[in-house]
Amino acid sequence: MSEIRFDGRVAVITGAGRGLGRSHALLLGSKGAKVVVNDMGGAVDGTGGGAKSPAEEVAAEIKAAGGEAVADYNGVHTPEGAKGIIETATKAFGKVDILINNAGILRDVTFIKMTDEQWDGVLKVHLYGSYYVTKAAWPIMRENNYGRIVMTTSAAGLYGNFGQTNYSTAKLALVGFMNSLKAEGAKFNIMVNTIAPGAVSRMTESIMPKEVLDLMVPELVSPMVALMCSEDFKESGHIMAAGAGHFAKAQIVESKGVYFNPKSKVTPEDIQGKLQDIVNMEGAVTPPNAMDGVGKFFKKG
């Protein structure tokens, strides 16, 4: 197996001053990528931004190891900030080949107590931030007929988590974003995939026991991200889970289901009578796109 390298490739990694983003940046930088280390600083809830040191330190680390990197301090959560991040890439390195949408914040609180500000703030960074930066990078990738984009989802989005309705909503929305974007990127050699990471960081250090956290190093997530950013990875639409040495694929599937005659009346009781068959997940499939998903309504058998 040949070594995966990123020589000549320009990678933008958002929220790369700490945690997972830092680890992705160091790995890609060590494999020849020119890295834009974006991070606006700030606390885990997104307040108090403006610290330059996280991005600066990671860029310095990449350079000290013989790589190429530039720090960027823009916030992903505004269109202007996102454009600024991509401009940093084009000014320093002339293009963008790889985008890892990783920046994130938490504002955990039960739904009953959640304020609009806590809801909006989390959606702004995770969902709008990924949208704004992707929007700014997209024309460049199309023009160059090359792009590798990785969204960052979460088990909280895929499966739910108490006290995280804002975060779960934003994180699963990124899967929907990927699903449609992959179709638009295909003919331009732009692959769009998603990581569902599990790693110790300031986001998770207070909610998991130490013996678990000791195994959950960000360096056990980044290799999967790097693979999805590589030239040879010619697939789109994967949700890959990675954490503590475990790698897996997550998928939205639909059961084979049950067909009633569409020209006859169907009652709730008819459905109740067939419920066990409807929810039987044996032979469940993922339609490649919405049209195929809807189209199967008309295919009996």
Residues tagged active-site: 167
Least CB distance to ligand NAI at residue 121 (A)? 9
Please, which residue, 105 or 190, has the CB nearer to ligand NAI? 105
The residues binding ligand NAI (CB under 6 A) are 14-15, 17-21, 38-42, 44, 46, 54, 75-77, 102-105, 125, 129, 152, 154, 197-199, 201-204
Residues contacting 235, CB < 8 A, separation 6+ = 191, 193
Q: How far apart are CA 289 and CA 301, in angstroms?
A: 20
> Scanning the structure block, which residue is given the tokens 């909610």?
207
Please identify the residue of the shown chain whose CB is closest to the bound ligand NAI.
19
Q: Are 155 and 126 in contact (CB under 8 A)?
A: no
Please, which residue, 136 or 146, has the CB nearer to ligand NAI? 136
Taking CA atoms, 279 is separated from 255, 256, 284, in Å, by 7, 9, 10
Please, which residue, 37 or 181, has the CB nearer to ligand NAI? 37
Q: How far apart are CA 172 and CA 197, in angstroms?
A: 13
Least CB distance to ligand NAI at residue 286 (A)? 22
- What are the structure tokens assigned to 299, written together? 């295919």
Residue type, 250: A
Least CB distance to ligand NAI at residue 100 (A)? 9
Q: How far apart are CA 178 and CA 175, in angstroms?
A: 5
Least CB distance to ligand NAI at residue 220 (A)? 11
Please, which residue, 130 or 146, has the CB nearer to ligand NAI? 130
Please, which residue, 20 or 62, has the CB nearer to ligand NAI? 20
Q: How far apart are CA 244 and CA 198, in angstroms?
A: 7
Q: In sequence order, which ranges of 186-251 are alpha helices (DSSP H)?
A: 210-213, 222-228
Please, which residue, 49 or 293, has the CB nearer to ligand NAI? 49
Q: Which of 77, 37, 72 is nearest to 58 (CA)?
A: 37
Q: Which of 141, 168, 138, 164 is nearest to 153 (CA)?
A: 168
Least CB distance to ligand NAI at residue 155 (A)? 6
Least CB distance to ligand NAI at residue 263 (A)? 47
Report DSSP letters for 64-85, one per residue.
Answer: HTT-EEEEE---TTSHHHHHHH
